[in-house]
Amino acid sequence: MNSMNSGNNIVQLIDYNQLAKQFIEFFYSKWTTAPEEFLTNGLLFEYSKMNFNGNLLKGVDFIKQMVEMKNAGIIFSNINCHALDSGSRRIDIMTSGMINQKNFSQYFLIVFDKTSWKIQNSILNIFI
C-alpha cells in the first residue's frame, strides 16, 4: 500500500468529496424532516457551534434554531457542495443554494472522532 494511504490519515483513506456530498444530502434532508434527531444521532458535539447570520449558537441552541426554521417550512434547493481536506481528520465543506427562495451559503468543518464524522463548526449566511 502506498505510504500516503496508510496510518491514521483518515482523509487520505476515503474519497472526501464523496463523503462531503453524502454528508450534505443527509444534513439538509434531516434538517427539513427531523432536526431534533441531531441531538441523539451523534452528528454534533455538545460544544458544536453555528454562526447564523452573525449570531453564535452553541450545542442545543444550534438545534433549536434548526427546529424553528423547520417548523416555519424550510425548503432547500439548488444546493452545490465543495470540499477540501484540512489535515488528517478534518474536512472543510462549503455549500450554496437556496433556502425558501433566498440565496444562502453554509460552511462546515467536520472532524473524524474515533468512529464517525461530526460537525465541529458551521457558518450559515442567508442573503435577503
For residues 80 and 95, is the Cβ–Cβ distance under 8 A? yes
Residue 43, domain CATH: 3.10.450.50
Provide the domain limits for residue 83: 11-127
Residue 3 lies in a domain: no
Residue 22 lies in a domain: yes
At 34-93, the pLDDT tens digits run 999 998 998 998 899 999 999 999 988 989 999 999 999 999 999 999 999 988 899 999
Average pLDDT over the chain reads 90
Residue 82 lies in a domain: yes
CA 75 – CA 95 distance, rounded (Å): 15
Of 4-8, 24-28, 112-116, give the lowest mean pLDDT range.
Answer: 4-8
Residue 35 lies in a domain: yes
Q: Phi/psi at 7 (nearest 5 deg)? A: 85, -155
Residue 6 lies in a domain: no
Q: Please name which of 92, 89, 85, 93 lies closest in space to residue 28, comparing C-alpha atoms.
A: 93
Residue 108 lies in a domain: yes
3-state SS class at 44: strand
Cα dihedral 39, 105, 76, 57 in deg (nearest 10): 30
pTM above threshold 0.85 = yes
Question: What confidence category does residue 117 fall into, taking pLDDT thresholds of 50, 70 and 90?
Answer: very high
Residue 5 lies in a domain: no
Residue 116 lies in a domain: yes
CA 49 – CA 119 distance, rounded (Å): 8
In the chain, the number of structural domains is 1
